[in-house]
Structure 1
Amino acid sequence: MTITLLKPYKGNTWELELDDSGELQFLHVQIVTRFQLCTGMELTPEQWQTVQESELSRKAYQHACYLLDRRGYSYMEMFRKLEPKYPEQVCYAVTDRLASLGLINDQAYAEQTAHYYVEVKHFGLHRARQEMRRRGLLDSHITQALEPYARQLEENLQALVAGKYAACFADPRDRKQIEKGKAALVRRGYGFGEINRAVAWYQEQLEEE
């Protein structure tokens, strides 16, 4: 196959036409320069495939960098984000490159998300783990990231019981309201045992007052 047309199109994009297809192809100037493409150049099918794969990898990498400018990603989360648009091997190559450059770091990302779910969202351990798994993080990273928050989780639960859900637990005789409050805390990821202890603590505070 022969390149019958190659010229600038818009910005950093060049248009290219091959004699065997008649269809215009669009490549970034970086790809044109890397492969030293020019009008009249002969390419084998394998060479053209390499050019196309390089263009896809460049697009995928730029897309990934755009996403990372907005927020952090785990390795698997980034892979899942790229997979619908790019071939599997391109997704792995790009994600590996990001990890090698330190732009993706699962342990650091686990620490960021643990801070968010515990200190900002005030989720319990179960809900925090669930949300972190959804972001593609391994259990080993999740456990390590959540370990420093053991005391914080207890304090968060007490604050929720005495604050946001105080009305549910103010009257120990109102079983309906108490169960309603407990159900809300379960949805936030707290266990029944720790909820019962926090409620008992709060009601003891009320009695002392």
Structure 2
Amino acid sequence: MKITDIAPRRHRLSQLYIDGEAAVKVDTETLLRRGIAIGDELDDEELHALLQASAKHRAEEKALYLLEHRAHSKKELENKITRAEFDREAARSAVEHMEELGLLNDEDYARRLANELFTRKKFGARRVKQELRQKGIDDALIAAVMDEFSTERSETEENIRAILERKYPMAREDEKVRRRAVAALQRYGYGFDEIFSVLNSEE
């Protein structure tokens, strides 16, 4: 197979023409690194290796772009890269590379997210576990992180009280508001015992 032309395309890609026909689009930087030029001959194995290298580099660029905007868990990042039309192998390779560079750390991510959910959003333990699981944190790490925060959850009642005062100040006087407050606090991740302990203690 002979490369008969190389034409620039959007998103830092180059269109390869092989034997006069438009064939594949390849990451331009990968093309330059490999010294591919018009007139070169490629066999199937070399073309496959070029495409793999291109996908790997583009997936890493996508990973960096996503991490610039906010932290991610490994699983979350891999899924996002895959949804961006990269195959699972390229996505996983990019995630591993980000981890090697120190840009990705599930333990640190889980701890920071749990702290934010507990302290800023005032979520209960059940909701925090759910959020961590949705981000792709494995159960063993979730358990370890929750253990770290368990000794600091003495403010559970204070959090519930703060939510009630801010959003449902009439919950103790109005039964309809009370029902809405209980439903909302459940969504926050608090159990009935915790909720009614606060509601009843101040009636």
TM range (shorter): 0.7 to 0.9
TM-fit CA distance, 1:13: 4.5
Unaligned runs of 5+ in 1: 204-209
TM-fit CA distance, 1:39: 2.1
TM-fit CA distance, 1:113: 1.2
Spell out, residue by residue over 1:136-160, the C-alpha distance to the aligned partner (whole angstroms, 9 max, x if none). Answer: 1122322333432422433211222
Spell out, residue by residue over 1:40-75, the C-alpha distance to the aligned partner (whole angstroms, 9 max, x if none). Answer: 211110110110111111111111111111111101
Q: Are the counterparts in 2 of residues 64 and 78 from structure 1 also a CA contact under 8 Å?
A: yes
TM-fit CA distance, 1:199: 1.4
Please list every run of at least 4 consecutive aligned residues from structure 1 whose deviation after the TM superposition is greater than 6 angstroms: none
Calculate the TM-score normalised by the size of structure 1.
Answer: 0.84
Q: Are the counterparts in 2 of residues 162 and 202 from structure 1 also a CA contact under 8 Å?
A: no
> Residues 188 and 11 (structure 1 numbering): CA distance in 2 closer, same or farther, change over 3 Å?
closer
- Equivalent residue of 1:16, what SS? strand
Q: Are the counterparts in 2 of residues 15 and 25 from structure 1 also a CA contact under 8 Å?
A: yes
Which structure has the greater CA radius of gyration? Answer: 1
* Aligned residues between the structures: 199
> Residues 198 and 22 (structure 1 numbering): CA distance in 2 closer, same or farther, change over 3 Å?
same
Give the structure 1 partner of residue 45 of structure 2.
46
Residue in structure 2 matching 1:159, options 162, 171, 178 = 162
Percent identity, aligned pairs only, is: 29
1:144-183 equivalent positions in 2, closer than 5 A: 144-146=144-146, 147-148=148-149, 149-169=152-172, 171=173, 175-183=175-183
- Please give the alpha-carbon distance, in whole angstroms, between the structure 2 residues aligned to 1:59 and 1:166: 52
Spell out, residue by residue over 1:91-149, the C-alpha distance to the aligned partner (whole angstroms, 9 max, x if none). Answer: 11111111121211111111221122122221111111111211111223223334324
1:73-152 equivalent positions in 2, closer than 5 A: 73-84=72-83, 85-146=85-146, 147-148=148-149, 149-152=152-155
* Pairwise CA RMSD: 2.3
TM-fit CA distance, 1:15: 3.9
> Residues 160 and 23 (structure 1 numbering): CA distance in 2 closer, same or farther, change over 3 Å?
same
- Equivalent residue of 2:167, what SS? coil
Calculate the TM-score normalised by the size of structure 2.
Answer: 0.86
1:184-203 equivalent positions in 2, closer than 5 A: 184-203=184-203
2:40 is the counterpart of 1:37: no
